[in-house]
Amino acid sequence: MTGSNLKIELEKLIGKNKVSSDIGDRLCFSRDVTPICYKWIDLYKLPPYICDVVVSPENTEDVIKIVQFAKKNKIKIFIYGGGSGVVGGVIPTEGGITIDMSRMSKVVILDEESLTIEVESGIIGQNLEDFLNKKNYTLRHFPQSIRSASVGGFIATKSTGQFSTKYGGIENYVTGLEVVLPDGNVLITSDKPRSSTGPDINNFFIGSEGIFGIITRAILKIYKMPEKVIYHCFIYEDIFSALDSIREIMQTGLKPPVIRLYNREESRQKFAKLGFDYDGCLMILCFEGNSELVDAESEVAQKICTKMKAKNIGDELGKLWFDNRFDTRHILEKEEEFGGVSDAIELAASWSKIKKLYADVESYFRKKQITLASHFSHAYTTGISVYNIFFLNVKDEEEAIKRFYAVWNDVMEIALNNDATISHHHGIGIIKKDKLREELNEGINILENLKEKLDPDNIINPDKLITKMI
Ligand SMILES: Cc1cc2nc3c(=O)[nH]c(=O)nc-3n(C[C@H](O)[C@H](O)[C@H](O)COP(=O)(O)OP(=O)(O)OC[C@H]3O[C@@H](n4cnc5c(N)ncnc54)[C@H](O)[C@@H]3O)c2cc1C
């Protein structure tokens, strides 16, 4: 079916004002924040993949109609939440229909007794947080992209936020889902605190990157606003003794929502940007919640850090971090430079493997003479994630794309050799999928078999997450 016929047929189904074949809309919804998308525009003026039509459903019934129509006519569907993904998850690699979820953004039910909220999946994270804050509640899921990412995107990518060390990733929030499956049927999982009724069906969709269906609603845990918030900042001579402190903090049973440790390079950039004259590795620690618990946790944590010879520099840098925590200009501006590219490679490993992983990654970038700023965050009792931001300057855009893929390939190899995950929270998309099999082993066959059963014609989000094309 051609673009104009497709538009006419979809308009008949869901209404005229919900379908667009305008080139501006098609371009806008055919890309995300993956560095290659910036380069494509410079290189080719038009990206290589453009959807034929953009549909903006207003309710689950619209989504069902779109899916049934696409299945019947064997037209591909791509799902666009907030478009803030960084692995190409929304790129319409086979044209077809892109579903823009932004009109499905209502709050459905706030359950103040159970502390849960049901929302339509297109709601943007910050809008949900603002709604909750007005009622003295909070989600406490703060990915840096909160102002542009949607709840559906959070769930589909298995995202995590800056306060995850206490509250967990999005998987710790979801208690129920509504999903339009690839055959047009609707799955509703109701909200229970826990159940032993087989594998948790929600988990098939958390991190599914849309390949198993379109998430239309979600029930999420919420929290009361914390009574007290305290920041502490420490400077360490070396990064490994700081890592030992974090391990001890976590394994002692403390629950800091924020624990961030910057390597020397990223600390240097932070100190310079904020006008401080320190040297060493900066650690920011936060405790929040009930006042008495916060004071007790703070005291224990400070003892652990000073035992490791850290210098306590007060709370100012922590508060400044909090105020500026959504500012990512220094990374995104790089993509707009001719021949410039930067990206964040978010790995994670258990405590017994993290130091070697960090050393191997650091040595790789040093040998290649590529600037690297790294920090550790999202800590667990068993390990921690490390966020590696690299900055490249090469002669032109084509070379930038080549080097971008080469760096990713090499660093994922280093991760796999160190038994680390190739993605702690950004997902796989189209950028990392060639390496997923190495990490998941037999697991990838399970995903492929599930996809084949649920979506035999490979209609929804093809080419994402799993490699095998059906
Ligand atoms: C500056 C910046 C900072 C970031 N910081 C963080 C961070 O701190 N933590 C973090 O985890 N991520 C972060 N990200 C990555 C990104 O914001 C997350 O992956 C986010 O969860 C994507 O949400 P989205 O709504 O924008 O999804 P999109 O980009 O629209 O889509 C991402 C994937 O999810 C699928 N999808 C979207 N909506 C649905 C739905 N309703 N049903 C089924 N599938 C769907 C899409 O098809 C695609 O495969 C950052 C990105 C940027 C650009």
Domains and CATH numbers, the chain: 3-102 (3.30.43.10), 107-224 (3.30.465.10), 228-323 (3.30.70.3450), 329-440 (3.30.300.330)
Answer yes or no: is the C-beta of 464 below 6 A from any ligand 1 atom.
yes
Predicted confidence at residue 469, as pLDDT, reads 45
Answer yes or no: is the C-beta of 57 below 6 A from any ligand 1 atom.
no
Residue 325 burial (CB count, 10 A): 14
Q: Whose CA is nearest to atom 23 of ligand 1?
A: 153
SS3 assignment, position 445: helix
Predicted confidence at residue 467, as pLDDT, reads 62
Q: Give the integer Cα–Cα distance in Å for 397 and 224.
A: 48
Answer yes or no: is the C-beta of 407 below 6 A from any ligand 1 atom.
no
53 CA distance to ligand 1 middle (Å): 21
91 CA distance to ligand 1 middle (Å): 12
- Summarised one tens digit per residue, pLDDT across range 179-188 is 999 999 999 9
Predicted confidence at residue 468, as pLDDT, reads 54
**Tally of CA atoms within 13 A in the half-sphere of 317 that contains its CB:** 28
Q: Give the integer Cα–Cα distance in Å for 198 and 195.
A: 8
Q: Whose CA is nearest to atom 50 of ligand 1?
A: 145
Q: Give the integer Cα–Cα distance in Å for 467 and 269.
A: 38
Residue 294 gets which letter from DSSP?
H
Q: Give the integer Cα–Cα distance in Å for 443 and 149.
A: 28
152 CA distance to ligand 1 middle (Å): 8
Place of tokens 């020397």: 264
Predicted confidence at residue 44, as pLDDT, reads 80
Q: Which of 38, 64, 86 to mutate to test the pocket of ligand 1 (most atoms within 8 A of CB)?
A: 86
- 229 exposure class (CB count in 10 Å sphere: 0-12, 13-18, 19+): middle
**Could you list the pLDDT tens digit for every one of the 470 residues in the chain?**
767 899 999 999 999 999 999 999 999 999 999 999 988 887 888 899 999 999 999 999 999 999 999 999 999 999 999 999 999 999 999 999 999 999 999 999 999 999 999 999 999 999 999 999 999 999 999 999 999 999 999 999 999 999 999 999 999 999 999 999 999 999 999 889 999 999 999 999 999 999 999 999 999 999 999 999 999 999 999 999 999 999 999 999 999 999 999 999 889 988 988 888 899 999 999 999 999 999 999 999 999 999 999 999 999 999 999 998 988 877 778 888 888 999 999 999 999 999 999 999 999 999 999 999 999 999 999 999 999 999 999 988 899 999 999 999 999 999 999 999 999 999 999 999 999 999 999 999 999 999 999 999 999 999 999 965 43
Q: Give the integer Cα–Cα distance in Å for 34 and 83.
A: 10
Predicted confidence at residue 230, as pLDDT, reads 97
Answer yes or no: is the C-beta of 33 below 6 A from any ligand 1 atom.
yes
Q: Which atom of ligand 1 is nearest to the CA of 162?
A: 8
Cβ atoms 232, 210 nearer than 8 A: no
Answer yes or no: is the C-beta of 210 below 6 A from any ligand 1 atom.
yes
Answer yes or no: is the C-beta of 159 below 6 A from any ligand 1 atom.
yes
Predicted confidence at residue 4, as pLDDT, reads 81
Q: What percent of the chain has pLDDT over 90?
A: 88
- CA angle, residues 347, 427, 78, in degrees to nearest 5: 165
What is the distance of C-alpha 385 from the center of its chain? 13
Helix axes 443-454, 433-440, angle to 10 degrees: 120
85 CA distance to ligand 1 middle (Å): 4
Q: Give the integer Cα–Cα distance in Å for 181 and 60.
A: 11
- Write the single-letter amino acid at 290: N
For the question of whether the overall pTM of this predicted structure is more than 0.85, the answer is yes
Q: Which of 59, 104, 120, 150 to mutate to test the pocket of ligand 1 (most atoms within 8 A of CB)?
A: 150
Predicted confidence at residue 470, as pLDDT, reads 37
160 CA distance to ligand 1 middle (Å): 10
Answer yes or no: is the C-beta of 145 below 6 A from any ligand 1 atom.
yes
Q: Whose CA is nearest to atom 53 of ligand 1?
A: 84
Beta bridge partners of 409: none
Residue 88 burial (CB count, 10 A): 24
Q: Whose CA is nearest to atom 49 of ligand 1?
A: 89
Answer yes or no: is the C-beta of 154 below 6 A from any ligand 1 atom.
yes
